[in-house]
Structure 1
Amino acid sequence: MIRRATTLTWLLMLLAYCPSITALDEPPVDELAPRIATLLRGWDQPDTPGCSIAVVKDGTIIYSGGFGMANLDHSIPNGADTVFRIASVSKHITASCILLLEDEGVLTLDSDIRKWLPEIPEYDETITIRHLLHHTSGLRDYTSLMRLLEIGDEDLFTPQQTIDLIARQKGLNFSPGEKHSYCNSGYFLLSVICQRVSGKTLRQFADQKIFSPLGMTSSHYHDNHLEVTPKRATGYAEIGEGKYRIHETVLDHVGDGGVFTTVEDLATWTTALGEGRLGANLLQRLQQKFTLNDGEVLDYCLGVVDTRFGGQRMLQHGGGWVGFRTSLAAFPRQGIVIICLGNCSAFQPSRISRQIAALVVEDLVPALLQRPDRATDRRDRTDSSAAAPEDAKEWDHRQVLGRYHSSELDREWSIIDSSGTDVALDGFEGEPLAIAVTGDDLLTVGRWLKMQLIRDEEGAVTGFTIDAGGMSGILFQRIVEQD
């Protein structure tokens, strides 16, 4: 990824470095291949999916290879030229496209997104492009909304339907800049902004500005699920007893994901970033920090997580969608990049990348090699603990029975009688789901969905809001039955 000629640049970017007291021996290049093969022996079988790996040092590929099968139907093995869907590893490429648009003077990162997305509601506070890039917008994640609509990742749901769904959300999870919560909606909307600003789809823009100039002939944003892509890997999921099923998507969304590429092309891309071939400061700008409203500085930059592993600075991002699991990790001081692309949902690319890092990255501290040294996980989490039922006020299940509609989801759910004194949620995921009373006007369905009742001045239940999948405040209003 990085040439020694750019050492000064990297030293300026490195915020702090304290040498470890213990260093691992770096194996010669000719010893690296068998060591990596040992790590991947469980996936290097004629009847399993697998992965492709590339290791780059100072801008030169020192290892590349494939393991397992790209296609089980036709016994086609994975190789360094196999094309994978890289899922969320795409995000830093999307961010790069936005930065290139900024260079053209057609937008700024602090622009109001409604300048190009007028269908998004005018919330109390402005959402900027910068908020989308850092996952601090408060927008609800469309993939989580899809689950509430009972739309799976293998079902058809168009980009326009997704824009409409996001635009129907009357509320945010939080005020822009208040929190960090990973949100695919933001990066998907960046693809829409790119198209409306430039007049080109994100695929066309990236091809013109990035992929074609760099000779990345096996790379593109895959915005047509019917398109044939030579040498592409098929995604798979385990079904038990050593068997697999095809696990692909028909979604044509890009921005939050959607890049198809190879480990060789990604090596070209990361090297070009390090050498400044797409702008002298593009790589540095991808590492821009964001400060939350309370003063906390995030380690999530622009599609890149600035973290530490084994005591060393690491720039990293992972991806997972349908039958693909991917990771890209760079160690700036050492000039090392590790690219790991897998075509099975059970594959663990981050773990493999860390194991390879232990072989090739100098000055790692052995005691710190288990996982990246992130002080906190800033992904928004909800407290799974619930108030004990005895904390709830006297409960009359009849007061909540009825039909409820959400204009944000365009769905109707019902709360129905169950066993005489209990209630259940009907209209979602087939069979009625048991509802538990866990606090004052607080109901839960399993461990993932919370329902907060809304009452009028007389105490009658007029609706409820739900919290689920990192989202909050989605409104359901009671349907008044006509006599």
Structure 2
Amino acid sequence: MIKKIAVSLCAYVVAFPAYAQENIRGIYSDQIDEIFSQYNETTPGCAVAVDQQGALIHLGGYGMADLEQDVPIRPDTVFYAGSVSKQFVGMSAMLLDHDGRIDLDEPVRTYLPALPDYADRITVRQTLHHTSGLRDFFWLFYLAGKPANYVITEPAIMEILAQQEGLNFEPGTQYAYSNSAYFLISQIVNAVYGDNLDAFAQERIFEPLDMADSRFQHDHRRLVKRKAHGYAPRSGGDYLLSDSTLDVVGSGGMYSTVVDLIKWDRNFYDNKLGGGASLIDEMQQSAVLNSGEETEYGVALKLTPYRGISRVHHNGSLAGYRSTLQRFPDEKLTIALLCNSSKAKPSAYATAIADIVLAEKIGPKDETASKRDDASASYVLSASEQLSFVGDYYSHEVDNTITIVRDEKVLRIRGIIGSDDKLYPVANDHLRHYGRDFDLLFIRNSDGAIESFTVKSARASGIVFEKQP
């Protein structure tokens, strides 16, 4: 049975009032203010929009958009939206499918023939549903030793994807979130439409929905009016700039406001973009694996309930930006949050707002706490066993050498950027990097000497690093 989030098509959507760029207060506003009380004129913060039954019941800004120029966050402040952008990329592909210009069940390589042979096994639909097995390009650049502020370009992504000799898994057999997937969707839009994703989105999504403050940014150096800079806190209590340095769209790349996000969200109740209700329904259908298992992920939309209430949602995170857009369709409630602090937790803020607005309808809280594996596992290596792992390891798939050293009786990894470099033994020939949550699985030859290791992570697996002489 296909999981579907039912959406009433009643025409409850109303036009935005002329004052929609100013703060709007409602009966819940004092309680909502408390959620954001940590943000003030000395901190970055968040813009918030709460829409219920087609009316904005709260709209406001907390904290500062620009700490250097003392510019406060307002409802019309423009933020980098992170992976919330993927909804618009997915809609672009759905519209092209509706137009008959692409077929979601055709292989990706039909539209991007420069990709390696593995793209013949992946359909566009699997790419949209994160069941493609594509390795995440952020992870590939991480394993390639690139720093966090490395300017990633679209040609650089195509190049590193072309170097890959395999996938994380056989397409359709698993769900694994991949930024490479939606990047490739943007490239398909380029190839079929004949212009970049921003041009398509402006014509088919942003202009029809009057989203005047939204755009896809193909060059991170371009100016954005009323932009909130991203920030990361540092020791001492002040902040460092942390803006996007991506020249990439698809995985993210959209700048927008909470007001524009509400305009977009309202289209899910009365689709004005083409394809009618059936296109909206298809975006909100869970993918189904080859095994028949549902993934609870549609087209750039997570389909997981909250405290017994249906919810369609997605988060975003990049550099100093954090975002969420959460819709509770049965209650016709939507919460849009755009934040410019790397420490912000917009998803938690959004559910706290839902707790307030839906207090009489939501079920009990889930008190089940997830436990992280203990980094001080009991598995211990002797000094000689530790030394057997020491050496240089090279992978041509990411064109990088990773070095394992023994320092102060601890194994450490070199050649990738990060503050946490410790490796912990968790089983025979199995080391774990807890800081970035990935494993190194070692292979030995018939003489017992290590020949290579394979990386295993949620978003990039199967990459082999061979030990160098």
Which TM bucket (shorter chain)? 0.7 to 0.9
Q: How far apart are the structure 2 equivalents of 1:340 and 1:141? A: 25
Please tell me whether residue 233 in structure 1 is matched to residue 222 in structure 2.
no
Matched to 2:97, the amino acid is E
Structure 1 residues 47 and 473: alpha-carbon distance in aligned structure 2, compared to 1, 3 A threshold? same
Deviation at 1:124, TM superposition (A): 9.5
Q: How far apart are the structure 1 equivalents of 2:424 and 2:88? A: 44
Residue of structure 2 in register with 1:94 after alignment: 89
8 Å CA contact 2:173, 2:289 repeated in 1:
yes
Matched to 1:404, the amino acid is Y
Residue of structure 1 in register with 2:327 after alignment: 330
Please tell me whether residue 263 in structure 1 is matched to residue 258 in structure 2.
yes
Please tell me whether residue 314 in structure 1 is matched to residue 283 in structure 2.
no
Q: How far apart are the structure 1 equivalents of 2:215 and 2:150? A: 22
8 Å CA contact 2:9, 2:269 repeated in 1:
no
Alignment counterpart, residue 440 of structure 2, candidates 440, 451, 454:
451
Please tell me whether residue 189 in structure 1 is matched to residue 184 in structure 2.
yes
Q: How far apart are the structure 2 equivalents of 1:119 and 1:263? A: 38
Deviation at 1:472, TM superposition (A): 1.9
Q: TM-score, with normalisation over the residues of structure 1?
A: 0.83
Return 437-446 or 168-177, whichever deviates more: 437-446
Residue of structure 2 in register with 1:14 after alignment: none
Paired residues for 1:97-246 under 5 Å: 97-123=92-118, 126-246=121-241
Counterpart of 2:311 in 1: which secondary structure? strand
Residue of structure 1 in register with 2:300 after alignment: 303
Report Cα offsets for 1:454-483 as digits up to 9, x if no partner.
344555543222224642221122345xxx
Structure 1 residues 119 and 160: alpha-carbon distance in aligned structure 2, compared to 1, 3 A threshold? same
Structure 1 residues 364 and 151: alpha-carbon distance in aligned structure 2, compared to 1, 3 A threshold? farther
Counterpart of 2:117 in 1: which secondary structure? coil
Q: How far apart are the structure 2 equivalents of 1:475 and 1:411? A: 11
Deviation at 1:428, TM superposition (A): 3.9
Paired residues for 1:315-464 under 5 Å: 315-361=312-358, 363-365=360-362, 367-368=364-365, 389=379, 402-415=391-404, 425-429=413-417, 438-445=426-433, 448-457=437-446, 459-464=448-453
Residue of structure 2 in register with 1:12 after alignment: none
Q: How far apart are the structure 2 equivalents of 1:170 and 1:302? A: 27
Q: Higher Cα Rg: structure 1 or 2?
A: 1
Structure 1 residues 432 and 297: alpha-carbon distance in aligned structure 2, compared to 1, 3 A threshold? closer
Matched to 1:330, the amino acid is R
8 Å CA contact 2:26, 2:57 repeated in 1:
no
Number of equivalences? 449
Deviation at 1:344, TM superposition (A): 0.8
Residue of structure 2 in register with 1:21 after alignment: none
Report Cα offsets for 1:127-149 as digits up to 9, x if no partner.
11111111111111111222222
Q: How far apart are the structure 2 equivalents of 1:415 and 1:362? A: 53
Q: How far apart are the structure 2 equivalents of 1:439 and 1:88? A: 35
Structure 1 residues 171 and 385: alpha-carbon distance in aligned structure 2, compared to 1, 3 A threshold? farther
Please tell me whether residue 471 in structure 1 is matched to residue 460 in structure 2.
yes
Please tell me whether residue 293 in structure 1 is matched to residue 287 in structure 2.
no
Matched to 2:332, the amino acid is G
Deviation at 1:162, TM superposition (A): 1.2
Report Cα offsets for 1:431-470 as digits up to 9, x if no partner.
9956555443334455644332334455554322222464
The percentage of counterpart residues that share the same residue type is 32
Q: How far apart are the structure 2 equivalents of 1:366 and 1:254? A: 38
Q: How far apart are the structure 2 equivalents of 1:324 and 1:230? A: 17
Residue of structure 2 in register with 1:70 after alignment: 65
Report Cα offsets for 1:192-238 as digits up to 9, x if no partner.
11111211111111011111122211100111111111111111112
Please tell me whether residue 34 in structure 1 is matched to residue 22 in structure 2.
no
Structure 1 residues 257 and 422: alpha-carbon distance in aligned structure 2, compared to 1, 3 A threshold? closer
8 Å CA contact 2:286, 2:298 repeated in 1:
yes
Structure 1 residues 477 and 71: alpha-carbon distance in aligned structure 2, compared to 1, 3 A threshold? same
Report Cα offsets for 1:379-438 as digits up to 9, x if no partner.
xx9977898647x8996667655543211110123445768x986544444999565554
Q: How far apart are the structure 2 equivalents of 1:268 and 1:317? A: 16
Residue of structure 1 in register with 2:18 after alignment: none
Matched to 2:176, the amino acid is S
Matched to 1:40, the amino acid is F
Deviation at 1:288, TM superposition (A): 2.0
Structure 1 residues 356 and 297: alpha-carbon distance in aligned structure 2, compared to 1, 3 A threshold? same
Deviation at 1:159, TM superposition (A): 1.4
Deviation at 1:107, TM superposition (A): 1.2
Matched to 2:36, the amino acid is L
Residue of structure 1 in register with 2:21 after alignment: none
8 Å CA contact 2:392, 2:401 repeated in 1:
yes
Structure 1 residues 34 and 403: alpha-carbon distance in aligned structure 2, compared to 1, 3 A threshold? closer
8 Å CA contact 1:54, 1:340 repeated in 2:
yes
8 Å CA contact 2:324, 2:336 repeated in 1:
yes
Alignment counterpart, residue 10 of structure 2, candidates 5, 21, 25:
5
Q: How far apart are the structure 1 equivalents of 2:134 and 2:176? A: 9
Query: Root-mean-square deviation (CA), in Å?
Result: 3.2
Q: TM-score, with normalisation over the residues of structure 2?
A: 0.86
Q: How far apart are the structure 2 equivalents of 1:431 and 1:318? A: 25
Report Cα offsets for 1:298-325 as digits up to 9, x if no partner.
1111111112123211111111111111
Q: How far apart are the structure 2 equivalents of 1:112 and 1:449? A: 30
Report Cα offsets for 1:268-310 as digits up to 9, x if no partner.
1112332111121232121022111222111111111112123
Report Cα offsets for 1:324-361 as digits up to 9, x if no partner.
11111111122221111111111111122112222333
Q: How far apart are the structure 2 equivalents of 1:376 and 1:432? A: 25
Matched to 1:38, the amino acid is E
Matched to 2:174, the amino acid is K
